[in-house]
Chain A
Amino acid sequence: MLHSIVEIMTPFLLAGLGGLFTERAGVLNIALEGLMLIGAFSAAAVAGTSGNLLLGTVAAVGISATAAYLYATAALHLKANIFIAALAVNLLAIGGTQIAAHLLFGTKGVIEFAGFPSLPSISIPLLSSIPVFKDFFTDHSPFVYIAFLLVPISAWLLNATPFGMYVKAAGLNSTALFTRGVAEQKIKVLAITISGITCGLAGASLSFNLGAYVPNITSGRGWIALVAIFLGYKRPYGVFLVALLFAAAELAAQNAQGIAGAPASLLLAFPFFITFIGMIIFSALHALFLRLQEKNRY
Chain B
Amino acid sequence: MSTQFLKGRRNHFIGVPKLIVLLLITLVLALAASCSPKDAAQPGDSEPAAEKTADSTSAAAPEEYEIAVFIPGALAGSPTYQMLADGVKKAAREYESATVKIVEGGFNQAEWQDKVTQLAATGTYELIVSSNPALPEISRRVSSSFPNQKFLLFDGYLEGEENIYTFRYNQFEQAFLAGHMAGLVTTSSMEGANSDLKIGLLAGQEYPDMNQAILPGFKKGAQWVEEGIKVDFRVLGNWYDATKAAEMADSMLKSGVDIILTIAGGANQGVLKSSKEHGSYVLWFDTNGYEKAPGTVIGSTALRQEKAAYEKTKQAIEGNLQFGKAEVVGVEEGWITFLKDDPHFTSNVPESIRKKQTEILEKMQNGGISFEMPK
Contacts and interface: CB of A to CB of B under 8 A. Distances in A.
Interface of A: 4, 7-8, 11, 74, 78-80, 88, 92, 95, 99, 102-103, 107-110, 112, 206, 209-212, 214-217, 219, 250-251, 254-255, 257-258, 264-265, 268
A114 to B, nearest CB: 11
Nearest to A211: B273
B235 A257 contact: yes
A219 B237 CA distance: 11
Nearest to B74: A108
A209 B232 contact: no
A255 B247 CA distance: 10
Interface residues of B: mostly helix, strand, loop or mixed? helix
A209 B243 contact: yes
B251 A216 contact: no
B5 A258 contact: no
Given A110-B77, A215-B76, A258-B255, A74 B20 contact: yes
B170 interface: no
A45 B266 CA distance: 17
A7 B246 CA distance: 11
A24 to B, nearest CB: 18
Most buried by A among B13, B206, B267, B269: B269
Contact of B234 (A88, A108, A206, A257): A257
Given A79-B17, A209-B273, A264 B235 contact: yes
Given A99-B31, A214-B267, A254-B244, 10 more contacts: A4-B251, A112-B292, A216-B241, A217-B241, A219-B244, A255-B255, A257-B248, A258-B232, A258-B234, A264-B233
A114 B308 CA distance: 33
Given A212-B269, A217-B242, A79 B247 contact: no
Closest 8 CB pairs of A and B: A109-B77, A108-B76, A264-B235, A219-B241, A109-B76, A268-B237, A214-B242, A80-B17
Nearest to B249: A254
Contact of B206 (A11, A92, A112, A265): A265
Contacts of B241: 216-217, 219
B28 interface: yes
A217 B273 CA distance: 14
B72 interface: no
Most buried by B among A4, A99, A210: A210
A4 B250 contact: yes
Contact of A102 (B20, B35, B234, B252): B35
Given A215-B240, A251-B247, A264 B206 contact: yes
B127 to A, nearest CB: 26
Contacts of B235: 257, 264-265, 268
A101 to B, nearest CB: 9
Contacts of A107: 76-77
Interface string B76-110: 11100000000000000000000000000000000
Contacts of A95: 28
B194 interface: no
A250 B273 CA distance: 19
A11 B246 CA distance: 15
B77 A108 contact: yes
Contacts of A7: 247
10 contacts: A74-B20, A78-B13, A79-B5, A108-B77, A109-B266, A110-B242, A110-B266, A210-B269, A217-B242, A257-B235
A193 to B, nearest CB: 18
B251 A255 contact: yes
Contacts of B147: none
Interface in B238-271: 238, 240-244, 246-248, 250-252, 255, 266-267, 269-270
B76 to A, nearest CB: 3
Interface in B24-72: 24, 28, 31, 35
A210 B273 contact: yes
A99 B46 CA distance: 13
Contacts of B233: 257, 264
A8 B238 contact: no
B112 to A, nearest CB: 19
A188 to B, nearest CB: 13
B141 interface: no
Given A4-B251, A109-B76, A268-B237, A209 B246 contact: yes
A110 B265 CA distance: 9
Given A102-B35, A211-B273, A219 B238 contact: yes
Given A99-B31, A215-B77, A258-B232, A206 B243 contact: yes
B231 to A, nearest CB: 11
Nearest to B243: A206
Given A4-B251, A95-B28, A251-B251, A210 B243 contact: yes
B107 to A, nearest CB: 10
Contacts of B250: 4
Nearest to A103: B35
B8 interface: yes
B355 interface: no
A4 B250 CA distance: 9
Most buried by A among B8, B242, B255: B242
Contact of A254 (B31, B247, B267): B247
A7 B39 CA distance: 39
A251 B28 CA distance: 40
Contacts of A268: 235, 237
A138 B336 CA distance: 46
B247 A217 contact: no
A109 B76 CA distance: 5
A217 B251 CA distance: 20
Contacts of A209: 243, 246, 273
B36 to A, nearest CB: 11
Nearest to B9: A79
A255 B270 CA distance: 17
Contacts of B238: 219
